[in-house]
Chain A
Amino acid sequence: MKLICLVKYVPDVDNFKYDYENNVLIRENVRLLLNPDDACAVAFALRVKARHPETLIEVVTMAPTTVKPHMEDLLRIGIDRGTIISDRLYAGSDTYATSIVLARYISSQIYNIILTGTHAIDGDTAHIPSQIGACLNLNQMSNIVRIDEEQFSETSAIFDVETENAVVTYEMALPSILSITRESKYKLPYVSRKDMERNVSEAINIVTNKDLAFEPEEVGLKGSLTKVISTYTKEFDKKNRIVVKADDEGIDLVYKYLKDKGFI
């Protein structure tokens, strides 16, 4: 069985900095991490491999080649091949252009299933998995919290999807795209001590436009159908606030306020 995991390396949004004067993101020295939902997809793939050791796992990402050390870490925990799709032509691609690039690479591979995350914490459009589904003519489902490992076969999968008020179990024919969320709690193992220095560079596969042969106007900024024309932080109406302490006087004021407004 061959599993393809599609992942994205994202800036750590919890520690990200914004230049409010120039209204731009500070991208220098931003630490990259494997998008949390995507890490769950890779972790699930590794569970399948643990059960069926003959399983092959390929992780695919579209990114600058600087993510290579991150990809090597995945190889050191048991991934068989790490593919980095990288070409200057692809820079600035929106989700549409990104999807056609990824789909063209994947269509040249043989696989039983594509595993992805549901949301990326930076763009957060959740477009890529279903758009690739449309490109490759595969069905796709998001918000998966559990895939039944025992029933998981080359031809079908049974999985749970969490919605606002229910957990729904579906069965889907494979190949298809299953997009997992971090609520699944599938966790990546750490690199073991003996594997820390292991040379895995042979398993890294760099794919460029020489391989994929897109015309320049099909991809990157030129091939994108949406364009970000402005970014800003939201201005909120500031109020004439009253500041008090959490002492008797402050509580009295809050109490009176709630009483006047009819909340008590």
Chain B
Amino acid sequence: MKRCLIYIDDINIQNSIDLLEVARQVYGDDTYETIGVNFNCNSKASMGAFDKIVQVMHPEIKIYDPVAITEVMAELQIKNSFNSILIPATPFGRILAPRLAMRLKTGLVADVTAISRKKDKLEVIRPAFSGRIMAGITCMSDGPLMMSIRQGVFNYEGDKSKPTEIINYEPKNFKDGHINCLYKKEKEQTYDIRESDVLVSGGGGVIRSFHYLKQLADKLDGQVSASRKIVDKGLASRNIQVGQSGKTVSPKLYIALGINGAMQHVEGLKQVENIISVNINSSAPICSLSDIVVEGDAMTFIEKLVEKIEETS
């Protein structure tokens, strides 16, 4: 039986549960077992989804210390010879995964967005060149198959009522990375574009009128999001960026204003039910993905549509 170890990042546990879908795609009809591992936290939120959970408890381990966490993960791997290790590509996961891969002398594929099989050979897909092309990658090492997986791309809909076995684990070796957290300042919580049903999104074509987007978003009970061009200009925070270097979103309605829709942007749109794009160039890439293409000025579109909604309400 194949065994797959999944790192549970307690910043967003659902993220790690969704990696069960990656395991399912990797192993298909083979029998396999999933083992979650978490550090100094209880396993309540992940009960039922994994077959087993290894609960690592150690008073000296700091959950933000890459050295300490890598050492324990390596110890687990050496003892158990898992066939694969999956790590969510959270900020910490993207530090942990390469460090662990090097420690285990095994290949790692970063920021995986799809799994494909070609004649029984597994091909792991990831974006490259800031999302402008996709690369299919194969691992050649004897060690476990290791991947970090892009957040928000896979979605686990399988069994969540498994009789999860909890294994308390006290690591033998402890290595201190000599790092201390001095303080943490929470950012002002605005909104999470990943949770919005309606996104009104602006790109390079609305640099001058980006702040008007909120008017339309308000009328549709939605939120404003942006492409990289807007964020790079400093007009919006990276928190609301859609695309390869931003977030992957799945709203019911996406209104793209002045967005060209290069692959690295479209990469951030997953299962969007309805797309309306407004662009002076109706052959922009985003237009071929749209249900309605409005050829024209985004500002005029906002004004007229807001007016129309106000008139009729």
A positions within 8 Å CB-CB of B: 11, 13, 16, 18, 25, 94-96, 99, 121-128, 130-131, 133-135, 139-143, 158, 161, 163-173, 176, 183, 224-234, 236-239, 241-248, 250-255, 257-258, 261, 263-264
Q: Is the CB of B187 within 8 A of A166?
A: yes
B positions within 8 Å CB-CB of A: 11, 64-67, 70, 91, 94-103, 105-111, 123, 127-130, 132-141, 177-187, 189, 198, 219-220, 238-239, 252-253, 263, 266-267, 274-276, 278, 282, 287-297, 300-301, 304-305, 308-309, 312-313
Q: Is the CB of A251 within 8 A of B98?
A: no
Instruction: Please tell me which one of the listed residues A122, A165, A224 contacts residue B186 in the complex, with CB atoms under 8 A apart.
Output: A165
With A13-B132, A131-B99, A236-B289 known as contacts, the answer to whether A167 contacts B185 (CB < 8 A) is yes
Known: A18-B133, A176-B178, A226-B107. 10 other contacts (CB 8 A): A95-B98, A142-B94, A168-B183, A169-B182, A239-B275, A246-B295, A246-B304, A255-B305, A258-B220, A258-B253
Q: Is the CB of B133 within 8 A of A231?
A: yes
Q: Is the CB of B182 within 8 A of A158?
A: yes
B241 to chain A, nearest CB (A): 11
Q: Is the CB of A231 within 8 A of B134?
A: yes
Q: Is the CB of B129 within 8 A of A250?
A: no
With A126-B94, A226-B109 known as contacts, the answer to whether A255 contacts B309 (CB < 8 A) is yes
With A233-B134, A236-B289, A244-B295 known as contacts, the answer to whether A125 contacts B178 (CB < 8 A) is no
Q: Is the CB of A134 within 8 A of B305?
A: no
| Closest residue of B by beta carbon distance from A103 | B102
B75 to chain A, nearest CB (A): 14
Q: Is the CB of A264 within 8 A of B294?
A: no
Q: Is the CB of B288 within 8 A of A241?
A: yes
The residues of B that contact A236 with a CB separation of less than 8 Å are 266, 288-289
| Closest residue of B by beta carbon distance from A119 | B245
Instruction: Please tell me which one of the listed residues A122, A131, A176, A226 contacts residue B137 in the complex, with CB atoms under 8 A apart.
Output: A226
- Give the complex CA separation of A163 and B135 in angstroms: 27
The residues of A that contact B292 with a CB separation of less than 8 Å are 241-244, 253-254, 257
Q: Is the CB of A264 within 8 A of B189?
A: no
Instruction: Please tell me which one of the listed residues B140, B177, B198 contacts residue A226 in the complex, with CB atoms under 8 A apart.
Output: B140
Q: Is the CB of B290 within 8 A of A127?
A: no
Instruction: Please tell me which one of the listed residues B186, B219, B287 contacts residue A166 in the complex, with CB atoms under 8 A apart.
Output: B186
Q: List 14 A-B contacts (CB under 8 A).
A: A121-B130, A130-B96, A130-B102, A131-B99, A140-B95, A158-B182, A163-B91, A229-B136, A234-B267, A238-B289, A241-B293, A244-B294, A254-B276, A255-B308
Q: Is the CB of A225 within 8 A of B139?
A: yes
| Closest residue of A by beta carbon distance from B300 | A246
- Give the complex CA separation of A140 and B129 in angstroms: 24
The residues of B that contact A232 with a CB separation of less than 8 Å are 133-134, 136
With A126-B110, A241-B287, A255-B308 known as contacts, the answer to whether A139 contacts B133 (CB < 8 A) is no
The residues of B that contact A142 with a CB separation of less than 8 Å are 91, 94-95
A167 to chain B, nearest CB (A): 5
| Closest residue of A by beta carbon distance from B289 | A236
Q: Is the CB of A233 within 8 A of B263?
A: yes
B268 to chain A, nearest CB (A): 12
The residues of B that contact A11 with a CB separation of less than 8 Å are 129
- Give the complex CA separation of A134 and B293 in angstroms: 50
The residues of B that contact A25 with a CB separation of less than 8 Å are 129, 133
A92 to chain B, nearest CB (A): 13
